[in-house]
Amino acid sequence: MSLPKRIVKETERLVADPAPGITASPHDDNMRYFDVTISGPGGSPFEGGVFKLELFLPEEYPMSPPKVRFLTKIYHPNIDKLGRICLDILKDKWSPALQIRTVLLSIQALLSSPNPDDPLAADVAKHYKEDLKGATQVSKDWTNKYAVETA
Amino acid sequence: MAKVPRNFRLLEELEKGEKGIGDGSCSYGLEDGDDIMMSNWNGTIIGPGHTVHENRIYSLKIVCGETYPDSPPSVAFKSRVNLPFVDQTNGTVDPTKLPVLANWTRNNSIETILVEIRREMATFNNRKLPQPPEGSFF
């Protein structure tokens, strides 16, 4: 199965020159399927956590966006219980000029700036709007519980 | 063609199932909305008309393993039903006796399994089989 040159190039760069706090490595048996980790950004309630994600480049990529979801549980208003992510560039704001790298950087940025006005997890968004301090604490607790490797 | 990995395939199936498929005679969804690996599913079949199954609602349990959709899920009836491919002690569907499972390909899905089982209910040999009381479970 031949892989489009664009995907080969993007993959090479991701591996050789990774963005800070982000790793992405393709599966040996499916070069369109990546294991991803994103470190929680400093100053966010996800700081100190390493979140696992999976990313898949569909047949139509780059005319269609990559598919991405979290595998690590996370308490965030724009990420649901199954790890699905509400982010415009993964949907109607996708452009073929974007790349895997830009998508992952945008997800990392989403961790720093939750947007409870465009929620995917309605209960988490409600919590964020009504009790920011309490909700942030739950996000921290979940980070410690699910996203911190214990030696 | 790009090979869609298990989890993204199951997410597609989930989204399709949530929207509702066809005429509503078959439906399915996750047993537990928190199940990040999306392994355990509930299925429902409404018995086909003009058969002994007419208007009966059958519940099934479908388990998608790590190798799904390269290998078929395991399927079992929760509702009691008398069909030649269903083990009468525990409701398990015998994959060797149901063509959609025996001749499994990646193009099949939870939906195609339910639709095929419903079609089996209406075949000449199965449509008049005596059935256990409605609403009983294995």
Residue numbers of A annotated as active site: 86
B5: nearest CB among A30, A73, A82: A30
What's the CA gap between B42 and B61, in Å, rounded? 5
Q: Which residue of A has its CA nearest to B2?
A: A59
Residue B138 domain-assigned (yes or no): no
Q: Is A32 on the interface with B (CB under 8 A)?
A: yes
Q: Give contacts of B 3-62 with A, CB under 8 A.
A: 3-5, 7-8, 11, 14, 33-36, 38
- List of chain B residues whose C-beta atoms are within 8 Å of the C-beta of residue A71: 36
User: Among B8, B10, B32, which would you mutate to test the A interface (most chain A Cβ atoms within 10 Å of its Cβ)?
Assistant: B8
CATH number at residue B100: 3.10.110.10
Q: How many domains does chain B have?
A: 1
Closest C-alpha among A99, A62, A65 to residue A85: A65
Q: What is the pLDDT of residues B84-126, one digit of tens each?
A: 999 999 999 999 999 999 999 999 999 999 999 999 999 999 9
Q: Is B2 on the interface with A (CB under 8 A)?
A: yes
Residue B27 domain-assigned (yes or no): yes
Cross-chain residue pair B3–A30, CB shorter than 8 Å: yes
B50: left (phi over 0), alpha (psi -120 to 50) or beta: left
What's the CA gap between A14 and A56, in Å, rounded? 15
- What ipTM did this prediction achieve? 0.92
Residue B35 domain-assigned (yes or no): yes
Residue B82 domain-assigned (yes or no): yes
Q: Give the DSSP letter of residue A108.
A: H
Cross-chain residue pair A32–B2, CB shorter than 8 Å: yes
Question: What is the average pLDDT across B60-75?
Answer: 98
Q: In which band, very low, low, confident or very high, does the pLDDT at A1 lie, cut at 50, 70 and 90?
A: low
A81: nearest CB among B4, B7, B33: B33
Residues whose CB is less than 8 angstroms from the CB of residue B59 and which lie 6 or more positions away in sequence, other chains included: B42, B43, B44, B77, B78, B79, B137
A58: nearest CB among B2, B14, B33: B2
Domain ranges of chain A: 5-147
Q: Is A28 on the interface with B (CB under 8 A)?
A: no
Residue B99 domain-assigned (yes or no): yes
Size of the A and B interface in Cβ pairs below 8 Å? 39
Q: What is the pLDDT of residues A24-71, one digit of tens each?
A: 999 999 999 999 999 999 999 999 999 999 999 999 999 999 999 999
* Architecture field, domain A5-147: Roll (3.10)
Residue B102 domain-assigned (yes or no): yes
Residue B134 domain-assigned (yes or no): no
Range of the domain at B79: 6-122
Inform me whether the pLDDT recorded for B18 exceeds 90: no
User: Among A28, A33, A71, A142, which would you mutate to test the B interface (most chain B Cβ atoms within 10 Å of its Cβ)?
Assistant: A33
Q: What is the pLDDT of residues B28-66, one digit of tens each?
A: 999 999 999 999 999 999 999 999 999 999 999 999 999
**Structural contact between residues A115 and A71, judged by C-beta atoms closer than 8 angstroms:** no
CB atoms within 10 A of CB A90: 19
Percent share of chain A, pLDDT over 90: 92
Give strand ranges (E) for B9-136.
Answer: 26-30, 40-46, 57-63, 74-77
Residue B133 domain-assigned (yes or no): no
pTM of the model: 0.93
Give strand ranges (E) for B32-115.
Answer: 40-46, 57-63, 74-77
Backbone angles phi, psi at A74, to 5 degrees: -145, 140
Name the pairing type of β-strands A67-70 and B26-30: unpaired
Cross-chain residue pair A54–B5, CB shorter than 8 Å: yes
Closest C-alpha among A118, A102, A137, A98 to residue A24: A102
